[in-house]
Amino acid sequence: MINADVAMTSEADTTINVEKIRTDFPILKLNVGDKPLIYLDNAASCQMPQQVIDRLVHYQTTQHANINRAVHYLSEVATMEYEKARHRVQQFVNAREDREIIFTSGTTDSINLVMQGYGRKFIKAGDEIILTTLEHHSNIVPWQMLAEEKGAVIRVVPINDAGELDIEAYEKLFNDRTKFVGLIHVSNALGTINPVKSMIAFAHQHGVPVLIDGAQAAPHMAVDVQDLDCDFYVFSAHKLCGPTGIGMLYGKSSLLESMEPFKGGGDMIASVTFEKTTYAAIPHKFEAGTPPIAAAIGFGAAIDYLCSVGMEQIAAYELELLHYATESIQGIKGARIIGTAAHKTAVLSFVLDGIHPHDIGTILNEDGIAVRTGHHCAQPVMERFKVPATSRASFAFYNTKSEVDALMAGIRNVQKIFL
């Protein structure tokens, strides 16, 4: 059996000046009708601090140009700032070198890049790919497409009633045909933190590379790709208080060098003739065309902001909020938490007896409370718990216990209306 390894504990320093932090987020001053906004949809997208907004404006007003294609001042500055952002991502995840960081349009694009560049080249008919029941659709559908094309087979790790992976079942799935593993670091639907480090180590004992979907982990805990020893790691900037339209792929350099480009075009080439095209070195081999330059710079600024708060502090404070919210909702008759893993990030997925999640979200919105309702792009999870959907409150380091109290009051109000 694999011993669980957890990236977040309650012993970490929880020193955060939440009221001061909230002043950095202009959107938190917004009213929804006559009610103050209570934003609890952070697993879908985090809000952006003024520091990131200002950095984007500064780029657009004083540094904007296309990169890598000129010797004039603005182009050189834009190129330098773009590569600085890459370096910040490299530092944030502790990659060995900048060239192991590929900018993409987001987590989904990163996974598809690996599927196209690695999977299409190395996965053959009869090979097996291991995924888990907890995966977001973006780490299921690309591998299904590949399996259908190649004649490969998808194997799935089940979960228990708490929403935790069955590690013994995971180990038993490995055989000589196992060629790839895709694992979600943290479940977006339930908040379960998976023991990915030990799962990666087990896969490597069998010579199998592992991709980690870190979309819900990177915003909420320190990530060290060298310590994890993952082969690929992916996430999006907008989950980290950054812009939309930009994400990253970390890949071990040897694997990235072995992969075929996903897209063809400008900047990803070394030379082009009608007889033959040769490709640029990594990371540029995977960054065809004009990239989202401003978004990348905003990505770097978002990382700077999170690091100024402190990832350990963020993790500990959000865990405190989760515990408070969990205890609070347990006092509401007819409320049931979906996903009760021992180790979670600050995600509270729940159902109310006799009330559809969409109705819950609609009434909460009238009180200015933003939660996510639906299957959360995790339909296999919903099927496992025999629910069509859940309501999901997901907390960030700028949320407060008073907002949790407002959520609980809102839930009671929903029950009064429908029951």
190-206 pLDDT per residue, tens: 999 999 999 999 999 99
Residue 69's pLDDT band (cuts 50, 70, 90)? confident
Largest CA distance in the chain: 72
Q: Is 241 an active-site residue?
A: no
13-22, 112-121, 354-363: lowest mean pLDDT where?
13-22
Interhelix angle 401-418/311-329, nearest 10 degrees: 30
The residues near 241 (Cβ < 8 Å, ≥ 6 apart) are 46, 47, 48, 49, 52, 219, 302, 305, 306
pLDDT for the residue numbered 245? 98
> Which whole-number Å values give the CA distances from 132 to 27, 226, 236, 364, in the listed order?
36, 23, 21, 32
pLDDT for residue 13 is more than 70: no
Residue 41: what pLDDT?
99
Helical ranges in 37-72 per DSSP H: 50-62
User: Quick check: 157 pLDDT over 80?
Assistant: yes
Least confident range of 25-34, 67-76, 154-163, 371-380: 67-76
**Mean pLDDT, rounded, for 93-117:** 99
Catalytic residue among 230, 241, 307, 377: 377
pLDDT above 80 (res 273): yes
Contact 199, 5 (CB under 8 A): no
> What are the chain's domains?
18-49+310-418 (3.90.1150.10), 52-307 (3.40.640.10)
pLDDT at 92 over 90: yes
- Position 12 pLDDT exceeds 60: no
pLDDT value, residue 256: 98
**Residue 288 confidence (pLDDT) above 70:** yes
**Separation CA 395–CA 164 (nearest Å):** 20
Q: Is the pLDDT of residue 138 over 80?
A: yes
- The pLDDT of residue 143 is above 70: yes
* Percentage of residues of the chain with pLDDT beyond 70: 97
3-class DSSP assignment, residue 90:
helix
165 exposure class (CB count in 10 Å sphere: 0-12, 13-18, 19+): buried
Position with higher pLDDT, 10 vs 383: 383
Q: What is the pLDDT of residues 207-224, one digit of tens each?
A: 999 999 999 999 999 999
Q: What is the average pLDDT score of the chain? A: 96
pLDDT of the residue at 10: 39
- The pLDDT value given to residue 311: 97
